[in-house]
Structure formats: C-alpha cells, structure tokens
A and B are shown apart, each in its own frame.
Chain A
C-alpha cells in the first residue's frame, strides 16, 4: 500500500533572478496532518502553488496519491481541495452562491445538503448570505475552506487556514479537519503558528530561503526545546539584526 499522499522531489521555481523554491523535497504521509512552516518569503506559498497547479515549476516532480500530478493535472485537481492565501473569489457572489458555483463546476449533483451542512458546521449562516466582497478575512477563509471540502477531496492543501479566524470558528475548523483526516484524508497546511503545528500536525517541514531545512515528525523536529525555539534556531542565521534602535526611545 502506498503510504504517501504527496511526494515532491527537486521542486524548483525562479522568478526572474530570484529563486523562490530551490530543490525542495517534501513527503506527506497519507492520513496525516502535515505542517509547512517558514519565515515570510521562505517559499511556502510558492511550493503549495506548484503542488496544486497554480504555478508552473521550473524543475522537479510531484507525485500525488500514486500518480504524476504534473502529467495528469485533471486527476490531481479532482483529488485535491485547495485553500489558497490571498487570491480572490468571484466577489459578487455570496458564500452560499460560491459553494453552489463550485458544486456546479465540479458536477456535484444534489450538493444542497452538503452546502447546508458546511455552512452550519463552519458557522457561516450569516456570512453565506453576504457578498464575498463585503466579508471579513475570517469569513472568507471559512468560505474558502468550505469550497475546498465540498467535493470530498483526498488531499487538502491549506495556506494559512486560521489567519484572521476567531477562536470559536478555529475550533470548529480544527474539528472538521480532524474528522477529515480521521476518515483517511490528508491535510497539508502552511502556517506561521508553531503552536498550531505542535497541537495539530503529525509531521512538519521547515522551509527557509526556498530550501527544506528540517523535516519529520513534529516531536523529532521540535526536540526538547519545543518547535518555536527550534524554528528560531533553524532560521536565526538570517534573522533580522539586533541594533537597539536607541533613537526610537530617545524622544
């Protein structure tokens, strides 16, 4: 049995002269939560974008649930649910209309019950009736998560799913994701919250300057000192300087 949901090897992407992702290897076990962490500009979103097909890689291979995702994009699209960070929705639709639109795009018949359940579980009763352009970031995240789940994918790829989400909604989202993974699904999430990774994830990959600097089970990567301190250790070589900014307090 193939225990790997997503296997990335040698993934590389260069924008102009800037190498955003440099020979990244990533292995995500089936039926697990996999966290991707890294400083701003580390290459997490670019890696995720390439994995799901929003960005064309310059080099590398992506194996998704036993098949070449780059060679067979339609299959990968059918098996993957994606919540990208910072991309627009059809902004004139309400959340509920967006979900019906997604159901239509994917040919899901009798999707009304699923949509109602998602709206209820994610606390979107009000947000689902509001045009997305007028919704808060948190509500948009929840609507985005609902559309990613709607077609019952095998792999969920979530970029900052908890950003700007209130604690109660975050708890509901965690519960939904745990149910998804408990049912055999796999979740990859990119986040800046080390606490979230320690609480939720089985494995973690630390990306820094476009390269993987640590990967493995969370407990192993974190070691004795905890993930947050370990993370700072891993990326501190290029941390911001330590000037005391005395001018800032002199006035």
Chain B
C-alpha cells in the first residue's frame, strides 16, 4: 500500500508563504514609519533614474542599474532590512519539501518595499530603450530588466542565507569587510565628482565601456539594440545567472532544512578540562553523581562523571542527596548575610540580619557618577565589542568603509579625502552603534535593578565606544595625512574631535529611543542585524551637527581663527555629546521599563495600534502620538516637493515657494525647506518613540 504524501501541496505551500510575508509587511507598515520612509526615499531615487533614462547616457544608465541591484543585495544585510524576511530555518518543522519551500520563499521575498522600488527603478531600462529605439527594443529591454530584477531578488536571498549567516568572529569580520568594501567602492564614486559629472553627461570612457559589456546590468539594453541572435544570447545569459542563483539558493534551503544551517554549524562543545575528565563508561557509579546530568550543555547528558573529577559537585553529593539533610555546620560556607566591605551601595544593609530590624535603614543611594559601576559597564562593553559577532562586523565595516572612502579616490589622483578616512570611520562606527541596546536583548534588566545603574549604563557604553573608536580615528587620520602630505589636514583634524565626542553618546540615546529587539540575543548572526536606516540617520545627526561649526570655521572663518577649529570641534562635540547623554539618561530613568519591554519580544506588549478610522477619543488620549503622526506625514511636504524635488528634478509650480525665486535664493529656500521638513520628521520620530506602550 502506498502511503499518502504527507507534504504540503506545492501550490498551497507557496501561497501560504506569500500570504505570511504579506501579513508581516502589512503589520510592519502599520506599526512603524521606517519602511514608508525607506519607500519614499527609494521611490524618489527610482524617479530620478527614470528621468535620467530619458536623456542620459546609455552606459552610465547600466552602471547605475547595476549599482542599484548590488545595493539591493548588500544594503539589507547592513541596515536590518532582512528582519521581516521569511527564512527556511523558521520553517524547518513544516511539511514542505525543498522545491516548494524555495519557490515560496523567493516568491515571498518579492513581497516588499525593496523589490517594488527596485522594479520601478529598473523600468528605467525599457524607458531608455523606448525613447531611443522604439517599442520593439523596449519590450526586449523590459524582459532583460525583469531578469535583472530576478537576479537581484535571488542574489538578495542567497546573500541573506550565505553571507548573512556567517557566524563567529571570522565570519563577522568577513561580512563587515565585504559590506564595507561594497559600500566604500560605491561611495567613493562620489569622491571623484568631476569624473562622475563627465560620466553622467558623456558616458564612461571607451575602456570602461569594454569592461561594461561583461556586466549583466548592461545586457538588457545591449540586447535591445542587438541582432536577434546576440540578443537571445544576452537574455539567455541573464536567465542562466538567475538559474545559477536559484540553484545556489535551493542548495542553501536544502541544507538549512536538513541541518538547521546552510554551512556546518559552529561547534560549541569543547574538550573537557583535565579536572573534568570523563570516567570510563564501564566504571560503576560510585555515587549518585555518576548519574547526574551535566551541568551545562558542553558535556553530553548521559556521560558518567567521576565524583573525584568534579570536586564541587561531588562534594555536594557526598554531603547528602537530600536537601532535608542540611547541616548548617558544613553547608554553604559562603557568607550570605554580611554586607560587602566596604560596600557603598549596600552599606546600610545591616550586619547580623536575624531577626531583621523593624525598619531597614535606607542605603546610601548614589547621586553622582559611580566610578566603579561605570568601569564595570566599560569592561562589559569592551568584552562585548571584542567577542560579539555583530559588533565586530559593525566595527570592521566602519573601518573598511571609512578607509576606502578616504583612500580610494587616490586611484583617481584625488587626495583631498585621504585625511578624512579617520573621521569617516568614526562617523560610521557611531552610526553602526545605534542598535546596541536591542542587540543585547533584555540584559538591560541588570543595571535597571541596580542603584545608580542607569547612569553607569549610559556612561559605560559611551566610554567603551570611545576607547574603541578613538585609536581607529586617530590612526586612520594620521595615515591619511601621511599618504597625502600636500592636503591641508586642518578640516579633518577639526572634525575628528567633534565626531568622537558626539559619536560616543548619540548612538546610546538612539539605541534607547529606538529599540529594535534582536531575534536571538545569545547567537545572533549578520542576518539578525537590528539596525534600521532611521536609527542610523539619527545617530549620524549628532556627530554631523557637532562637526558643522568647526568645519565652517575652517572653510569660511578668518585665517587667524582657523587653527582654533580643532578646539571648536572639541567644544561642539562635548556640547552635543553632553546633550545626547542627558537625553539617554532621561530616557533610561523615565522609560527604563518600557525600553526593557521593547528589547524583549517575549515580554514586550504590542504597541497600541493607531486606529484606521477616525476616532476622536483616541486622538484626545494620545495627543503626542497624534502629533507624531501629523509631523511624520506633513514633514515630507517641505522635504520632497518644496525641497529635494526642486533641487534634484528642478520642478516648478505655483505652490512651490522656491520656484518663484532664482539663483542662490531659490537654492537657499529649497535647502531651508529640506531643513524644516527634516526637523519636523525628527520631532515626529522622537514623539513616536516616546509614545506609551500600554
């Protein structure tokens, strides 16, 4: 008799996974404005690309399309855009076979803002073909663009499972190096602005065009203008690449379903220490300890253990197996009733406690900085920076990114940015620290339950970041100065202290304001990166604000005062840093329990949903949340139509203020609008972050 298939039917499996992803997306859009912010920014960029496609150079367009697909693959790993993705590891216990699982996961990954915006952006290719060559080539280019989009979709999925799953310090450093290199190469393009301008207007040089022919993003437009044979070959090439990607992803999914991980799982067991040697299996159990389960998962549970080999536990057994046989004479030798000597935080704890006094004296509560507590947090943080895979990844990314942004332009004989390698690395180290509270899970409960623990927590975190970032910033800055001796180093030297001082505390505040819980605080991977783009932008805002006065003094200040710019940078950095520290202290002191709840998925109550219909009562009871919604909605008006669209797309209209002006006044008004809108959005985000969770 043939047993009926127990696997979920393929179509049902695929449809279910797509529905799951759609539900997750709907919920994310409703609960958090960040995806909508990203969608608007992406749509703006896609609109610019389509506009460029109408009049721009064909080869430059393919470069931009390729950069877009590359960014689509890499950026989610870096900015936490994978948090809402479905992964095969989550579905291991479901009766879905590899084929439907792969198809379903890929189809589900197409449901999202990134794929939608990317599809819009890549439509620039058929638009270009239609404008330049007519309808027929446009259809071929559309097919090629669709294949390119599929390549991005599959590449993103493979990167998430392969690169994003790399565990351990080596994997973390490799991931940080990879993402930092990709971003550094992409970002350094802007460092050679004249070359970029030339590329945008006249296209890449002939030598680059020869290389571009081998790049897949060039193939859709190449196919559109080629003879039928070569065109077919180009499209088949794209199809083949998509097929290779699908095959790679299928392999990864199969391995995850079979083994729980795409690669060999990391070993967590270790060779027992000699003192914990394993007794021969045949040895008779000399005491109940022989049947004792291991005290942790580093030893197999069934392993018999010699009492002599485990002195502490053996001694426990020898004293007697039952708690009832407690003998106070030889029981715990530890003194649990004497307060620490001297113990500033406990010095009011009475000495002989039995019987307890009528009223326990009030202990001395720390009112100022507790140096010992700060040092304790500092040590904890430094160890975490050295051991936590995601922190290592962040740090590596910041160093590589800063280094490449500063040094890569040297290849184009542009040495202006070399001294900036240090400040740029520090800036990104600050930005990437914007999610550390969520990354630590619910470990925040320990300082929250300690007198003065909140103050120590914020200062210890900031100090540890400074200890890590200061040598990096100084070393890279000095290296940049030595590499480019002809460049005035004063601007970089003025900005460095500002970004260091402000960068130490701003991410602490942001991490407490926008807690993004990590899925598994014990064994997070690069794919669990909780950092989101809004947190990154907020964390960048503080150091940039602090750097502005010193930079302005160097560039526009009188010559006599220019040497004082580093001092100005330090003062501004300290001022911004102190302000951010005050905000962090206030956040932790007033909303510590809410921050803790937000850091723990299991304990966090769902935030109150915003009513989808008009509910005056709700708006009366949630004024700050309502203001946040108003600001987050209206803030885009000055940013986009009144600001960026004027500056980028040169739009005009009766209600657009800047379009009534010309020249510098027009630019100034547009920039002012961007600033006004940014302030509204920032205020809205702060209010949104402070909304009550219950």
Which residues of A are interface residues toward B (Cβ below 8 A)?
1-2, 5, 14-16, 30-31, 52-56, 58, 65-67, 72, 74-75, 77-80, 82, 84, 86-93, 97, 100-111, 114, 117-118, 120-127, 130-136, 138-139, 142, 147, 149, 151-154, 166-172, 174-176, 178-180, 182-186, 199-200
Residues of B within 8 A of A106 (CB): 340, 343, 345-346, 373, 450-451
Check A184 against B331 for contact (C-beta < 8 Å).
no
For B608, give its contact among A16, A124, A138, A142 (CB under 8 Å): A16
* Complex CA distance for A22 and B372, rounded to whole angstroms: 40
Q: How far is the CB of A49 from chain B (nearest CB, A)?
A: 8
Q: Which of B149-157, B374-382, B638-646 contacts A (4 or more CB under 8 A)?
A: B374-382
Check A77 against B346 for contact (C-beta < 8 Å).
no
21 examples of A-B residue contacts, CB within 8 angstroms: A1-B356, A15-B694, A53-B593, A66-B358, A72-B362, A74-B363, A80-B449, A88-B443, A91-B440, A101-B376, A104-B376, A109-B340, A110-B341, A117-B335, A152-B335, A152-B337, A152-B338, A168-B292, A175-B331, A183-B353, A184-B356
* Complex CA distance for A138 and B301, rounded to whole angstroms: 12
* Complex CA distance for A182 and B337, rounded to whole angstroms: 10
Residues of A within 8 A of B522 (CB): 88, 91, 132-133
For B331, give its contact among A86, A178, A200 (CB under 8 Å): A178
Q: A136-B295, A174-B323 are in contact. Are A91 and B313 (CB under 8 A)?
A: no
Residues of A within 8 A of B324 (CB): 199
Q: Give the number of A-B contacts (CB < 8 Å).
A: 307
Check B292 against A66 for contact (C-beta < 8 Å).
no
Check B298 against A126 for contact (C-beta < 8 Å).
yes
B27 CB within 8 Å of chain A = no
Residues of B within 8 A of A5 (CB): 356
* Complex CA distance for A114 and B355, rounded to whole angstroms: 23
Q: Which of B187-195, B560-568, B597-605 contacts A (4 or more CB under 8 A)?
A: B597-605
For A1, give its contact among B310, B316, B357, B450 (CB under 8 Å): B357
Interface-central residue, A100, A126, A153, by most chain B CB under 10 Å: A126
* Complex CA distance for A84 and B441, rounded to whole angstroms: 14
Interface-central residue, A80, A117, A138, A166, by most chain B CB under 10 Å: A166
- Identify which of residues 308-366 in chain B touch chain A, using a CB-to-CB cut-off of 8 Å: 310-313, 316-317, 320-324, 326, 328, 331-346, 348-349, 352-360, 362-363, 365-366
Residues of B within 8 A of A2 (CB): 356-359
Check B289 against A168 for contact (C-beta < 8 Å).
yes
* Complex CA distance for A86 and B441, rounded to whole angstroms: 11
* Closest A residue to B348 using CB positions: A78
New A-B pairs, 12, CB < 8 Å, besides A79-B360, A105-B456, A111-B340: A65-B359, A101-B379, A105-B376, A106-B373, A106-B450, A108-B345, A123-B313, A139-B296, A152-B340, A154-B356, A175-B323, A199-B324
Check A79 against B363 for contact (C-beta < 8 Å).
yes
B618 CB within 8 Å of chain A = no
Residues of B within 8 A of A77 (CB): 449-451, 453
